[in-house]
Structure 1
Amino acid sequence: MATAKWNGAVIAESDDTVVVEGNHYFPRDAVWSKYLTSSETTSHCPWKGDASYHTLVVNGETNEDAAWFYPTPKEKAAEIKDRIAFWKGVEVTT
């Protein structure tokens, strides 16, 4: 079971994560959407495609662009479609 925590709250929990480049990608339905807000930030990975971001808002604190996902990943990264990963201080344990 992988768990993502930030600011005292469990953000995501699943026994079905996909690990790519050391990051656990959680199924979208395993992430508490109440902690996610949309972000305009995007980035590009040559082999995964274009990433979009969410900002976390937990217990009155904000963590800008701490979650990312690939809405339409490239074929080589198809396994991370509909999955979300975390960084910027989000602790992921297994």
Structure 2
Amino acid sequence: LVGKLITWVLEAVFTLGFGTPVIVAQAVTAISKWATRIGELIQKLIKTIKKVSPLLGKLVEIFTKIMKVVGKLVGKVTGLDVISTKSIKPG
């Protein structure tokens, strides 16, 4: 798109402005194509995020369960399982 912009500027200069209507038509067409491409990519990205979001929630639940199990195992191995964690607040 940048290369086309340079070309359009040079065409406008060398045609002394008489080629401007053609240049504008070319620019509008190119910009429209790029806008369509970007719009399609954004739609695909949104669809992907919608599909992945529930999976990430499940993954967080699984990791939480794993961390609880690991915490219990570490407590038993180190003898720290006798310490009460009820008074400890997250954050």
TM-score higher than 0.5 = no
TM-score normalised by L of structure 2: 0.18
- Higher-Rg structure is 2
More strand by share: 1
Normalized per residue, the structure richer in helix is 2
Q: TM-score, with normalisation over the residues of structure 1?
A: 0.18
